[in-house]
Amino acid sequence: MTAPGAMLSRPPAQTGGTLSTVPQVVLAVLCGGYAVGSVMGWGSPRLAGVMGDFGLSLAALVAAVSCGLYARKFATPFRPAWVLFAISSGMAGLGNAVWGWYEVVEGAAVPSPSPADFCFLLFAPPAIVGLLVLAKRPVTRAGWVCLGLDAWLIAGSLLTLSWSLALAHTAHFRGRSVAEGALSLAYPLLDIVLVSMVLALHFRRSSVHRSAINTAIAALALTVLCDALFSSPLLHDHYHSGQILDAGWFAGSLLFAYAPWVGRRTGAEATGPAARAASHPQPPPGSRPIAGSLAALTPYLAAAVCTLGILTNVLDGRRIDRVVLFTGCAVVLALVVRQGIMLLDNITLTQELAQKENHFRSLVQGSSDVIMIAAPTGVLRYVSPAAAGVYGRDAEELVGSELASLIHPEDLGRVVHAVRRFLAASPEVEPTTRIECRFRAGGQRAGGDGWLNVESTVNRHHGGLIFNSRDVTERVRLQAQLQHNASHDALTDLPNRALFTERVTKAVTGRRATDHDTAVLYIDLDGFKQVNDTIGHQAGDELLIQAARRLAESVRAGDIAARLGGDEFAALITGDGTRDLAAREFRILEIADRLRIRLSEPYRIDGRDVRVAASIGVAFAEPGISPSGLLRNADLAMYRAKQAGKGRVELYAPQMQDEVAHRAELASKLRTALQDGEFALQHQPVVELAGGRITAVAAHARWRSAEGILFTPAEFLRVGDRGRLTDEGGERAAELGRWQLEEAVAQAAARHRAGHPVPVAVRLSARRLLDRTLTPKAIEALLARHGLPSGALVLELSESDPRIPLDDLERRLVALRRLGVRTALDGFGSGYAAMSALRRLPIDVLRLDRGLVDGVVESARLHKITAGLLRITSDLGMHSVAEGVDLPEQVLALRSMGCTHGMGLAFSGPLDESRLRRALTRGSYPVPDLTGQGRAVVLSGSRPVRSGAVAGPDALAHPPLRPNSETSVPPT
């Protein structure tokens, strides 16, 4: 057989389990024992009479009870039939009991007619009606008429034959009464009707409960056969109870008792599709059901029997009886009527079939799907015209070709397996199946020869298969594209985070898990946000595309590069199995440095060169590490590279994780301190250097520990200053900033009401000042809520981040100035950003950076720089505040340069509210006197020289003492 033939051949049917033969053996033993006893005469005439009468009565009653119990226990569609069979058997049992009463109990001859005869006569009608219930009910009037005609044909033919053989003699009463003559005719006529129904309905029985119905029909046929023999003149005159004829009736009753349970025992009683399919296997292809053929021949066989009966009379030289003539004519007439009905029915069916055939032919030929019929050998016998449009091949070209030759070789094995599994399944359980494979296309299709993705719905067809196929190539391509999009970045087409994590998981847990030199490189582009802010997001996208291309070109063929999101990339570098730690670090770091250099080269975007750097973190797949842990370690290493100055490569070390844990702990402590109200405000006086008058106070937040010690929150604020690893810390820092501003305004308003109207300076970062929650309207509402004049609030910009958009900051400060809020620039002189802010922003006060103040006395260079900055401040009409003025010499030097204000330990450190109010009540601090000897402080080289005493030794001999509850951490 060819490959397609092997593919489409039906596998051997699976046989069911072995049925139990115990009931059948018991039934055979009982019937055989009764037959042996009948042949042997039961040992005595009396026992023969008992067994011949009451034995038959008991068997019939057992059949009645069995059928009745089954009908009561199981609610099947044929319950009425079993109830009727129970009544029929009960009447037979009652008749035998009456017969035995006369013969055995009374020892008299059975009268004719007797009550037993009426019971026997009532045996047939319920059985006939029960057979009608078991039969397939016709669905049309013509069907009912044909059923009646078939029954009459059988009955008439049997009546003709029986009348010719025996009933004609029985019909002559020969001195008997009319009742006796009628009774003698009633038995054979009812038997004829019963036999007619058995024969007519045997070929029309329902497919459900086939075993039970066959057994019941066999029981009735055996009973009718015994009745016919009993009615025969040869046996009737010599019959007495207990003879072998009784064994037939006994076996018929036991078969009736066994009939309803045989279906339940074999499993055919179940009405599910699987049970029906198992009990009625499909006929082999090309075969014709015998039952259907016999059913079609039944009327003609009946007519042949009728003809045989008439010929019997003619050959015997007897005159044709009128009953035979009438019956024969009725049979012929019934046959003609039946043929006429069947002819009309066939004409109607032929027209409907032609109409449906045309309809389905139009559907098949006009369908956009290709319909193919494959023979059991796998050869295509029919292909619909849609093949030209779908496959690009004419239907005539495909007909006669083998199906296997059209399927892609890689898909053929899967298709063969699916077809064999489908053919092995029951048609009721799995009527159809779906198969998807690649199909060879022809040259007529757009795009030329190739392979199409075809989805087919497969149905059985006379041992072969019907394929209803459609082209799903575009759908498959779309699915593949969607799957690719789900695992790749839309902008750069690199693998995304999900696919990269999957590959890392395979590398860590797969067969290469022992290669501990496998590493993950976590890459971040430094300065990418500035590219977006300066030349636009479209240029930023182009930069990412070029960076992704460089990264993909730089990794090896077995490695994988991915974009994790934003400007973050990653690379998985598989190991080569080396165990030398130094060698593996050297190899990976060399690869990482090569990638850093490549990614840091200028990018040509819109005709200009754009530069960004690359910070790379490296982590190795150490034993026992999880995929998420490996990615986390590489991320931590990259974070350390950015902290260490950016544009560098860092190798993961375990202490990095400890730092992350420490930061998380600090963030948690900051959150707890804010929730529990553990932060307090202290204020440091801002002193006029000319006369020592307190002109303002600067608010500083302090954290009061459980032991009552105040700590500067600088360490906690740094938690939120860097990177994505500290988002929670950044939120806490912002929350602390909101609390500090609110508390500073509230306390300043209280001091104003107490008669100390000094402004308060609150330090805010420029990023915080641009926050959408801190708008000018919000600050105005805050001042109005606490009743503080707007001129009493000074906001100090503490951050000089060049990435802050100065245009937005300028608009925000101008709006605040309209409200009366003043602005101070903190850290002036510390960098280019401060100079840019001075040039662009509406600044009222400049605060000199502590770095300038610390060396203003010792360093002549710093002295000149500071003096120049102070001249700029004076020329711009701004106030100047020197921060960190801790020594009297610094006071003198700064005042001589033109600095107007200062704050530091030379006057006072941060004070709590009660000490601040005492200082405000005093109103000023003593300052060094510049007249007379006080001017002895000069600069000689780079070291200060004191040539005389400073006025006011009590005031400046020692800086003011800090409270015992404050640490030595410098205020922020």
DSSP string, 911-937: B-HHHHHHHHHH-B------SGGGGG-
CA nearest neighbour of 469 among 480, 458, 479, 461: 458
If one compares 99 and 318, the residue with the highest pLDDT of the two is: 99
If one compares 340 and 909, the residue with the highest pLDDT of the two is: 909
Q: What pLDDT does 1 receive? A: 46
The per-residue pLDDT for range 349-388, each reduced to its tens digit, is 888 888 887 777 776 666 778 889 898 888 898 888 888 8
The per-residue pLDDT for range 72-118, each reduced to its tens digit, is 888 777 788 888 889 988 888 898 888 888 888 887 877 777 787 77
The per-residue pLDDT for range 289-308, each reduced to its tens digit, is 444 444 566 666 666 766 76
Q: What is the rounded distance in angstroms from the CA atom of residue 51 to the CA atom of residue 57?
A: 9
Which of the residue ranges 246-250, 275-279, 362-366, 382-386 would you say has the lowest mean pLDDT? 275-279
User: DSSP 3-state assignment of 626?
Assistant: coil
Q: Which residues contact 748 (CB under 8 A, 6 or more apart)?
A: 697, 758, 759, 760, 786, 788, 792, 793
Query: 597 and 516 in contact (C-beta within 8 Å)?
Result: no
If one compares 18 and 916, the residue with the highest pLDDT of the two is: 916
606, HSE (Cβ side, Cα atoms, 13 Å) = 11
Q: What pLDDT does 208 receive? A: 58
If one compares 161 and 431, the residue with the highest pLDDT of the two is: 431
The per-residue pLDDT for range 574-590, each reduced to its tens digit, is 877 666 778 888 888 89
The per-residue pLDDT for range 46-73, each reduced to its tens digit, is 888 888 888 888 998 999 999 999 988 8
Select, from the ranges 236-240, 324-328, 812-816, the one with the highest average predicted confidence (pLDDT): 812-816
Q: What is the average pLDDT score of the chain?
A: 77
CA nearest neighbour of 668 among 707, 676, 765: 676
Q: Would you state the structure tokens that stand for residue 338, as one six-digit string?
A: 């039946």
Q: What pLDDT does 688 receive? A: 93
CA distances to 689, 841, 874 from 871, rounded to whole Å, are 16, 19, 5
Longest dimension (CA), the chain: 181
CA nearest neighbour of 126 among 74, 150, 91, 76: 91
Helix (H) or strand (E) holding 283: none
